Structure 1
Amino acid sequence: MSSHTYRTVDVPVSGGLLRVGVWDPVSPTAGDPTALAIHGVTASHLAWPFVVEELPGVRIIAPDLRGRGASNGVDGPAGMAAHAADLVAVLDAFGERSVPVFGHSMGAFVAVTLANLAPERVARLVLIDGGLPLDAPAGVSAEALVQAILGPTAERLSKRFADVPAYLDFWRAHPAFARDWSAELEAYFAYDLVPDGDALRPATSLATTTDDTVDMNTGSTLSAALRALPAFVSPVELITVARGLLDEPPGLYPPAHLAALLEALPNVHHVEVPDLNHYTVVMSERGARAIAPILSREFSAH
């Protein structure tokens, strides 16, 4: 039996309604903690069910960021500050003053921005394979930057698919999920699709992905947030994996690059989780089991 019940709520934000997934404990009590979970650049709130199952007794609030999933109709620009403002609106809607925040991939960069722009709302901060500067090439075009960081992930956004099975076949062939295909992944991928004429396409547009990727790597908002990170009142947890978006070594944070980052950020506590890639660290049963003890500690510290 599942440890949680699941529902969705639409929260008003600038430009429209933000879809928010909510997992409530099956047997809720007045003392149940809440966490805010923020997904990656082309993902949705359905990236989190594996992690949710490993956190019984915790309410998880996880939005579809603007431009993704069922929030893909929210008007206006994206960018780290816009996402952070949306998350403040989400916390307000649920009556949450301050919560642990978990961010995966781009969601970790959004989490760092939220901790800087609204530090009173972030009780603890966990960055999962993201949030700190990537080893990205300097002085390249927006398109080249997206290609260097996301590669085939960005190319997928320009593709059209005849139906849901065709999209699932596309992902079954992806090396990142070869060991971890599941019914939960099928639901996650199916949710990603929206109509486009007589075909289907991913909900996230390439333009939105480009804008967000450029902002999280070169934007002044994130630069300011990263400069403020050493002053964050609680230790920051950084979880990385050794394998990247195509299940290839190294991961997004090559060892030498990561070592330099950690030396400059003494309040960041780093844990590398072995035998997982950028996706499966959250979107697989074994990934969720590996990181759940780290996430659980944030509630006892809160």
Structure 2
Amino acid sequence: MGDQGRRVDGPAELDLPVEGGTLRVLRFGEGPRPALAAHGITASGMAFGAFARLLPPEWSLFAPDLRGRGGSADAPGPYGLDRHAADLCRLAEGLGAGSPVALTGHSMGAYVALLAAARRPELFDRLLLVDGGLPLPVPPGADLDGILDATLGPAIARLGLTYATDQDYVDFFRAHPALGPYWNDDVETYVRYDLTGPRGARRSKAREDAVRQDGRDLLASGDRFAADLERLSVPALLLHAPLGLLGQEPPMLPGDLVERWTGGPGGLPTELVEDSNHYTILLGDPAKTAAERFTALA
């Protein structure tokens, strides 16, 4: 990672109110300009560590652990993308103090951020979608759990495993083809933050029931995402990676899908972030592009 922007030694951990309880929220930075970030389906707010460090010093990034993940693993359900979007709106109301806040989301978090911005546009002054947010083509009557197992199989499988040591868990991720070759301190911090459980039986904080419920909701909600993209009124930009979940083709967002939503007049502005995959677009050197576009977006 480069040294541009401010350095962040580690986020403050806050417990902020949402409907029915609180969410753990990681605050990166102490600037007066608030931004809000939503993470991916098995991730946590710590996924934004590199991105946050590259923001200007006047910014503070608030990255909640969504219900069922990280420090919010025990936050009450039900889950679902509408529930997460409502949580983002509730946080934005508190953080903005009457002024709009900047909003971004990665992967599943991009869909959550889209729902929030479309429903409560007065709360947000920009929306950066990072490798997510476009309606995915799903055949009618498809086995949604089967699709999840086919696309997220290893990620879901690890949620049911235990590890003898923290290093065993880190080594699991170091063997991941989309992360291992690009390993850095931000990735390791992200991985270690996800650990919980007693010695000898360490495991991920993410709950499989939350992941599956949210995944089914995401796959079944293409029409809602399409409608929200068409009515979106806040300035928005989509960044997408050429490589996907395993660090190779196909990408998370296929080229024809991106073209469908960005190619015509009035389409969503978009940018391909070269030399990135679904994870490194946020956790590697390409995070510089995401941070620069986010602060410039208006």
What's the TM-score once normalised by structure 2's chain length? 0.90
Provide the C-alpha distance between the structure 1 equivalents of 2:175 and 2:200, rounded to a whole number of angstroms. 24
| CA–CA separation in structure 1 for the residues paired with 2:265 and 2:214 | 24
**2:286 corresponds to:** 287
Partner of residue 296, structure 1: 295
Counterpart of 1:11? 16
1:180 aligns with 2:179: no
Per the TM alignment, residue 81 of structure 1 is displaced from its structure 2 partner at its CA by 1.0
The residue aligned with 2:50 is 50
**Matched residue, 2:197:** 195
- Counterpart for residue 234 of structure 1: 234
Q: What letter matches 1:16 in structure 2?
A: G
Q: Would you say the 8 A contact 1:11–1:18 is kept in 2?
A: yes
- TM-score of the superposition, structure 1-length normalised? 0.89
Letter in 2 for 1:204: A
DSSP 3-state at the match of 2:104: strand
Deviations 1:217-252 (A, max 9, x none): 213xx6335303222223420110010011011201
CA RMSD of aligned residues (A): 2.1
Aligned to 1:269: 269
**Alignment-derived partner of residue 208 in structure 2:** 206
CA-CA distance at 1:135 after TM superposition: 3.8
Q: Percent of aligned positions with the same letter in both sequences?
A: 35
**Shift in Å at residue 198 of structure 1?**
4.8
1:254 aligns with 2:254: yes
CA contact (8 A) 2:133 2:225 kept: no
1:37 aligns with 2:11: no
In the TM superposition, residue 149 of structure 1 has moved relative to its aligned partner by 3.0
Compute the displacement of 1:4 (Å). 4.3
The 2-side partners of 1:81 and 1:17 are apart by 17
2:162 counterpart residue number: 160
Residues in 1 aligned to 2:13 and 2:264: alpha-carbon distance in whole angstroms: 40
SS at match of 1:101: strand
1:276 match: secondary structure: coil
Cα 1:265–1:115 change in 2 (3 A) is: farther
Distance, in Å, in 2 between the alignment partners of 1:162 and 1:135 is 40
Alpha-carbon displacement from aligned partner over 1:175-231 (angstroms, at most 9, x marks no partner):
111332122222211111221695122111221111001111213xx6335303222
Contact 1:36 1:61 in 2 (8 A): yes
Does the aligned pair in 1 maintain the 2:88–2:113 contact within 8 Å?
no
Alpha-carbon offset, residue 262 of structure 1: 2.6
Aligned to 1:111: 113
What is the aligned length? 291
Which of 4, 21, 28 is matched with 2:26 structurally?
Answer: 21
SS in 2 for 1:175: coil
Give the match's secondary structure for 1:275. coil
Counterpart contact for 1:38–1:102, Cα < 8 Å: yes
Checking the alignment, whether the CA contact within 8 Å between 2:121 and 2:234 is kept in structure 1 is: no
Contact kept, 8 Å, 1:20 with 1:62, in 2: the verdict is yes
* Structure 2 stretches lacking a partner, 5+ long: none
| Residue deviations 1:120-154 (CA, integer Å, cap 9, x gap) | 11211110000111244542223202123323212
**Equivalent pair of 1:142/1:210 in contact (CA under 8 Å):** no
How far apart are the structure 2 equivalents of 1:265 and 1:44?
A: 36
Aligned partners of 1:122, 1:95: CA distance in 2, in Å?
9
Q: 2:106, 2:139 → 1: CA distance? A: 22
DSSP-derived class of the 1:227 partner: helix
Q: Is contact 2:125–2:235 with CA below 8 Å preserved after alignment?
A: no
Q: Does structure 2 retain, via aligned residues, the 8 Å contact 1:241–1:274?
A: yes
CA distance in 1, matches of 2:194, 2:139: 29
Is the 2:118–2:233 contact (alpha carbons within 8 Å) kept by the matching residues of 1? no
- Which runs of structure 2 are paired with 1:38-187 in the superposition (5 Å)? 38-57=38-57, 58-96=59-97, 97-187=99-189
Distance (Å, rounded) in 1 between the aligned partners of 2:210 and 2:199: 20
Pairwise CA distance, 1:80: 1.0
Give the Cα separation in 2 of the matches to 1:3 and 1:197.
Answer: 32
**Structure 1: any 5+ residue segments left out of the alignment?**
none
